Amino acid sequence: MKIIVLAGGLSTERDVSLSSAAGICRTLLEKGHDAYLLDVFLGLENAPEHLEDVFTLPGHGLEIARNIGTEEPDLEAVRASRPDQSDCFLGPNVIELCRLADITFLGLHGGEGENGKLQATFDLLGIRYTGPDSLGCAVAMDKGLTKQIFLQSGVDTPNGACLHRDDAGRTLSDLGLSLPVVVKPCSGGSSIGVYIVNTEEEYEEALKKSFRYEDEVVVEAYIKGREFACGIIDGEALPPIEIIPKTGFFDYANKYQDGATMEVCPADIPEEISDRMKELTVKAYHALKLNVYSRADFLLDAEGNLYCLEMNTLPGMTAASLLPKEAKAVGIEYGDLCELIIRKSMEARYQQH
């Protein structure tokens, strides 16, 4: 197949996306596909005269891949580096190349990659892509809306509320909450802008910092417990994986720095808890109108209560990421997983049933 692997963009998770997508592109090449790694925002300025020749270029676009730093990327510098200085999210030749491909593998994370806008655009342009549909992506990206849907659908989740910038003066008691709490942007990812706060002063500071990212934040009860993730492919949950950061919680630095976190898969938990986590993952997946694949994040407290925090519609896809590790636990190797995602995406949207 001719496959464009789309990455980068203008999300705070840009570097994560480039790393994920490079892994996807390499494994698809090993599987015999004509794959090319493309930055959705920077595009391909100096394209070959015949665009389809891109799929057989020797470097396959992999020169744009990079390691993930401990700090989030400088997005203003990325904007400034685009030669045409356009503010269009889709860079030069991106639409044309995606239309030439048999399918576009979305290796994007956060922002426009996961909020459904790109998926809706591709639907209108007749571009085939991997992962969930635009509706599911839009709903799951909004943590406040996700929380409401979870509560209505019987998916256990921490008590919490949405707070708009204009309402930032509301007290925790107004929200029905008490310290400690977690403050996080409504539509962020990779734990960027997430703060665990124990005092009123920390709470006010966390609000200021989170509101730098967007106009709406989620404030929710802090649940002390073990951290887990549970992937799902085509409606079937994978074995849960436990995430054990060596310090603090599973924040941006702990997620992407080698050796910062230990991951255990299958998780060392009683079978009934594992089954409950998988059951809640499937319930959350359907409640949010998702399809193809995604990943749920959970906390397990000392009393054995499970709390689903959110669903990631385009979870990390480096070979060391959580979803590929869960797939490997049931015998699905990384390259086979990438091909399975392509196949399930084609079945979900582009083939007559």
pLDDT in tens, 231-257: 999 999 999 999 998 765 544 444 445
pLDDT of residue 21: 96
Q: What CATH number is associated with residue 256? A: 3.30.470.20
Q: Is residue 16 part of a domain?
A: yes
Q: Do 229 and 197 reside in the same domain of the chain? A: no
Q: Is residue 142 part of a domain?
A: no
Residues 340 and 253 in one domain: yes
* DSSP conformational letter for 56: G
- Residue 285 falls inside a structural domain: yes
The answer to the question of residue 154 being in a domain is no
- My answer on whether 259 and 198 are in the same domain is no
Q: How far apart are the first and last CA of the chain?
A: 21
Residues of the chain below pLDDT 70: 68-70, 188-193, 247-260, 352-353
| Residues spanned by the domain of 67 | 2-129
pLDDT of residue 306: 98
pLDDT of residue 295: 98
Cα 115 off chain centre by: 10
Co-location of 278 and 213 in the same domain: no
CA atoms within 13 A of residue 11's CA, in its CB half-sphere? 28
Best CA proximity match to 232, nearest among 137, 312, 343: 312
Q: Which amino acid is at 308?
A: C
Instruction: Count the domains in the chain.
Output: 3
Mark which of 221, 250, 275 sits at the end of a domain.
Answer: 221
| Chosen domain end from 108, 129, 150 | 129
Classify residue 55 by its DSSP letter: G
Q: Is beta strand 293-301 parallel, antiparallel or unpaired with respect to 225-233?
A: antiparallel
What is the per-residue pLDDT across 255-267, written as a single tens digit (0 to 9) for each?
Answer: 445 556 899 999 9
Inside any domain, residue 93: yes
At which of 221, 253, 275 does a domain end? 221
CA 198/CA 7 separation, integer angstroms: 37
Q: Are 311 and 252 in contact (CB under 8 A)?
A: no
Quote the tokens at residue 195.
């703060």
Asked if 214 and 230 sit in the same domain, the reply is no
Quick one: pLDDT at residue 11?
87
Per-residue CA distances from 132 to 34, 82, 149, 220 (Å)? 23, 29, 17, 27
Give the burial class of 267: count Cβ atoms within 10 A of its Cβ; 0-12 exposed, 13-18 middle, 19 or more buried. Answer: buried
Q: What is the reported pLDDT for 252?
A: 45
What the block records as the tokens of 40 is 């959705």
**Kind and range of the H or E run holding 125:** helix 117-125
Q: Which amino acid is at 141?
A: M
Q: Do 251 and 314 lie in a common domain?
A: yes
DSSP string, 161-213: EEEEGGGTT--TTTTT--SSEEEEETT--TTTT-EEE-SHHHHHHHHHHHTTT
Tokens of 229: 């993730």
State residue 68's pLDDT score. Answer: 67
Q: In this structure, are 54 and 15 located in the same domain?
A: yes
- Taking the CA atoms of residue 81, residue 84, residue 85 and residue 90 in that order, the dihedral angle to the nearest 10 degrees is -90
Do 177 and 119 fall within a single domain? no
- Sequence-ordered list of residues with C-beta below 8 angstroms from that of 294, at least 6 positions apart, any chain: 131, 132, 136, 140, 231, 232, 285, 311, 312, 313, 314, 315
Asked whether residue 147 is domain-assigned, the answer is no
Q: What is the CATH number of the domain that holds 58?
A: 3.40.50.20
**Same-domain status, 31 and 97:** yes
